[in-house]
Amino acid sequence: MFAPRRISSARILLVLVAGLLLAAPAPQAQPRRTGSANHVVVISLDGFGGWALDDPYLPVATLRRLAAAGAVAKAMRPVDPTVTWANHTSMVTGVPPARHGVIFNGLLIRDAGVPPRVEPWRDKNELVHARTLYDAARERGLTTAQVDWVAIQNAPTITWEFPERPDPKGVIAQETVKAGILSQADLEAFQTKNILWRDHIWTQAAAHILRHHRPNLLLFHLLNLDSTQHRYGPRTPASMDAMAHLDSQVTTIVTTLEKSGLLANTTLFVVSDHGFKTVKRQIRPNVVFAKAGLITVDSGKITGARVYSVPEGGTDGILEGRMFAAAQDSHIVDPEPNETVELSLEAVAISNRRIGTEVRTRVEARLGSQL
């Protein structure tokens, strides 16, 4: 079964994967399962738009072959807010961000004396406040693995991992060095390398885990397309080339499943978290707040704030009531006139709907603008 980019909802994906892995739940009196011959691989192509498979001139032969042989959903309903970590966490919990708690690409930190910030390198147990698919799998005696998944750092129910920032002393990291996938020096400097190379290494690490550890569940996330579209925009030659490269990474995983004898008992899901729209204007609410006297700035640094905007893609969370003093490295830069528009009803929509426990007021950029 193949479900590319256009999964209809996170809950459907979770139910399908859980059913394939766990089968019917055992009665309470029976002993807990101690493993399964079934395997599920979830590959997330970050930023892969739903329109892409309808373009006959996009060279993604493996994705088309899998789609023709499997099942394709016609629409995707991302969660709100539609950002990478929120959507991926909904995929593995089946609940919206207001319930699982991940509403940014990281954890919102509000320390005294500095503006709020989003910190990605926090443990899963701090970020995710709902039961996950990999939690359920481990409870049933199944093995789990993740490569470059999100909101999953130090998750106790992950058996094997090669994370976004691999630990040079980690088990899988050391295995990849011994296997010649990368050098120890490159492993230690992993985060400084270009995203295309890192996607390649993440793919090789995922293939290694499949070959040598044969997990019941593998969660695998690829990031190059998302980075490329943020820089060059969607439907550009750069983004189309990145999509074609993603197809080759999927091919590597399929070939590994075939050669390792896992394919017959493996269900493969290829999904995405969001698409992209081209924007022509940038809106910087904190500049507007500063001009209105709601944020005070001294020598280019924020020294106090009655309100503060935390941007995340096309939405901003507006935090209120916290004063900041002696903020470090938090510069307000007056943008060029053609880069910014005034905060107005023509550019944004303002909502007071609560999302989680932190954000009560949101600003959403209208089509063609970005916060």
Q: Could you tell me the residue ranges of all domains in the chain?
A: 10-271, 281-370
**Which residues are within 8 A (CB) of 201 and not within 5 positions of it... i.e. 6 or more apart?**
176, 181, 182, 190
| Class for the domain spanning 10-271 | alpha beta
- 34 versus 207: which is more confidently predicted? 207
Mean pLDDT of 61-75: 91
The Cα angle at residue 83 between residues 98 and 329, in degrees rounded to 5: 100
Average confidence (pLDDT) over 101-114: 87
Average pLDDT of the segment spanning 343-360: 45
Element (H, E) at 42: strand 39-45
Contact residues for 65 (Cβ-Cβ < 8 A; gap 6+): none
Residue with tokens 């390198």, as numbered in its chain: 121
Rounded to whole angstroms, the Cα distance separating 283 from 238 reads 25
- Record the pTM: 0.83
Chain-centroid distance of CA 70 in Å reads 25
Angle between the 237-259 and 195-213 helix axes, to the nearest 10 degrees?
10
The DSSP output letter for 51 is: T
pLDDT-wise least confident of 183-192, 225-234, 279-288, 294-303: 279-288
Mean pLDDT of 165-176: 98
Out of 158-162, 216-220, 240-244, 283-287, which region has the weakest mean confidence (pLDDT)? Answer: 283-287
Confirm if 296 and 347 have CB atoms less than 8 A apart: no
Calculated CA dihedral for residues 147, 149, 151, 156, nearest 10 degrees:
-40
Check whether 305 has a pLDDT greater than 60.
yes
Share of the chain above pLDDT 70, in %: 74
Contact 144, 215 (CB under 8 A): yes
Question: How many whole angstroms separate alpha carbon 314 and alpha carbon 285?
Answer: 12
**Is 50 exceeded by the pLDDT of residue 124?**
yes
**Token pair 């295309």 in the structure block, residue:** 196
Picking from 36, 155, 35, 183, the residue whose alpha carbon sits closest to that of residue 88 is 155
**pLDDT grade, residue 291 (50/70/90)?**
confident
pLDDT for position 367: 64
Report helix, strand or coil for 370: strand
Could you read off the pLDDT of 319-341 as tens digits, one per residue? 664 433 322 333 333 333 333 33
In percent, the amount of the chain with pLDDT more than 90 equals 57
